[in-house]
A and B are shown apart, each in its own frame.
Chain A
């Protein structure tokens, strides 16, 4: 096993572990995902997600305290680099041809309003 040091960034993920899902959580998860749900959808998704979540809670049965996580099926694969060699960029036309909205050489987006 390779040893490594975990450096915490800030409070946040560490500590509290929660399970379960309800409408309030679905609502906040939807905003995080930039998806809006009307009342009816919220109802349906909350019910369906609750049933899925209760199914996946099955994993709690397994003791995994000493098990390392697999984030990658090919564990042996390491240090895949490319050399710092210039490659041709796309033609500007190809960059912008799919753009729903553009101005000059740039993509155009609606104004950003930080205050909500």
Chain B
């Protein structure tokens, strides 16, 4: 029999249903795998081995017995949750995030916490206080970020399912760089309650999985209205597995002309173009579209996101939880020392940038301006979707880069989010799926974007492509 850790959630579900395997066997198999590999990959910041003693009893649950790795910025009751930051060391939330509650209610088993860029600030998983996670396809390279631990663990079969969060590409970019599937749902589709906020108007939680079917399964459980989140939308959740047809006849796929210009890696470009031809062969209609404000997306994002973050992260001050600098002379001294020693460099950089954009005299030039440009970017998509059902782009302009390569050049790091950021600004759903490999055997990802609340089209297109290619079945040699 195949090692259980190699299987997908839907394959394991079938076996559990037929009593061919038990949840504890799956966990044992995973723990062994993690024990063998994670010293090298460092996808986990915490493994909760005790979960094997608390297998849920709800056998009818939609995800009964399926292990889930949780990004370290999603609250799990009484489990240390630190956002990869020293400032939250020791913080054990007294409550479950809504997504965790829903997963537990359906019998899924949270097995631990995944490494991430500190507070999700980064595209490489290098800013974590626990040190970088490695890309399973090349241990000298970054796995992408910020959900790098989640994506690397999926790619190395150290977990069956994983949760990530995506503010500017933090699910899709690491999924792309690790050769796995990552979905950022429509803003408001999945409750943010219990997700430690980075940028409230951009953040979404979503699945990182081995294949498209698993992503659909996971969405069936985590999506839906939550009265604890004012920004979650009360629209019925369809059964996403029903969209897993291999039929895209008549689907109109837009290809934005602004996304295939200078700066994009040639191998990435050619893989994505090949994917477009394949989709056309499978029955889709390809239309050229224009998203004219694409060139302003990174600027807009790097105003809006740090501004919101600077305010969201103000609460980390050593008063109620987490790290506190002892022996401060007075309160202000405690605030300053706690925050200066608790936050890493990138977190400080973003807090400073965000505070700057909001401060007196600069608000209109930066924050307000960015909000207005955000309107234009959103309008671009509204217009584009008049002519197509979904849009295809590369997920990342390059495959995984070397650890340390961009650490001293924040701006070039920021530019690696260029294709993913717009979806967050516009609030639309987007998925990244594997679409090929570079000559150096590094995965390349394809991004599909759809209208708000039309995750079904994403699943339909992604599943059709995946099933016709099989890139998702490739595994790194470890």
Contacts and interface: CB of A to CB of B under 8 A. Distances in A.
A73 B187 contact: yes
Contacts of A1: none
B331 A69 contact: no
B352 A35 contact: yes
A73 B184 CA distance: 14
A26 B352 contact: yes
B349 A45 contact: yes
A110 B231 contact: no
B239 to A, nearest CB: 23
A45 B361 CA distance: 20
B363 interface: yes
Contacts of A32: 355, 359
B369 A51 contact: no
Contact of A107 (B230, B310, B320, B368): B320
B320 A110 contact: no
Nearest to B366: A56
B394 interface: no
Interface in A49-96: 49, 51-53, 55-62, 64, 67-74, 77, 80, 82, 90-91, 94-95
Interface in B355-409: 355-356, 359-366, 368-376, 378
Contact of B318 (A49, A97, A100): A100
Contacts of A98: 90-92, 94, 320-322
B349 A49 contact: yes
A48 B231 CA distance: 34
B331 A113 contact: yes
Nearest to A67: B372
B163 interface: no
A101 B328 CA distance: 13
B330 A110 contact: yes
A2 interface: no
Interface string B314-329: 1001111111100011
Nearest to B299: A56
Given A12-B360, A94-B94, A100-B318, A113 B330 contact: yes
Contacts of B17: none
Contact of A67 (B231, B303, B318, B376): B376
B278 interface: no
Contact of A74 (B94, B233, B321, B353): B233
B330 A99 contact: no
A89 to B, nearest CB: 11
B394 to A, nearest CB: 21
A26 B357 CA distance: 11
Given A74-B188, A100-B321, A48 B330 contact: no
Nearest to A52: B411
A34 B317 contact: yes
A21 B356 contact: yes
Among A36, A49, A73, max chain B CB count under 10 A is at: A73
Contacts of B414: 52
Interface residues of A, number: 59
B419 interface: no
Range, interface on chain B: 35 or more
Contacts of B364: 13, 17
A80 B210 CA distance: 36
A56 B302 CA distance: 7
Interface in B272-300: 293, 295-296, 298-300
A7 interface: no
A29 B372 contact: no
Contacts of A3: none
A29 B355 contact: yes
Given A33-B352, A112-B330, A101 B324 contact: yes
A95 B319 CA distance: 12
Contacts of B332: 34, 113, 116
Interface stretch (B152-160, B244-252, B336-344, B442-450): B336-344
Contacts of A37: 340, 348
A74 B334 contact: no
A109 interface: yes
A107 B227 CA distance: 29
Contacts of B365: 17-19, 60
Contact of B356 (A49, A67, A73): A49
Nearest to B334: A110
Among A33, A36, A72, max chain B CB count under 10 A is at: A33
A71 B371 contact: yes
A5 interface: no
B214 to A, nearest CB: 26
Contact of A18 (B227, B353, B362, B376): B362
25 contacts: A17-B364, A17-B365, A26-B352, A29-B359, A30-B352, A34-B335, A36-B340, A48-B411, A52-B411, A56-B299, A56-B303, A56-B366, A59-B366, A69-B372, A69-B374, A70-B372, A74-B452, A97-B92, A98-B90, A100-B318, A109-B334, A110-B329, A110-B330, A113-B331, A113-B332
Given A17-B362, A37-B340, 20 more contacts: A17-B365, A18-B361, A21-B356, A33-B355, A35-B336, A45-B348, A45-B352, A55-B298, A55-B411, A59-B300, A69-B375, A70-B378, A71-B371, A80-B230, A97-B94, A100-B322, A109-B319, A109-B331, A112-B331, A113-B330
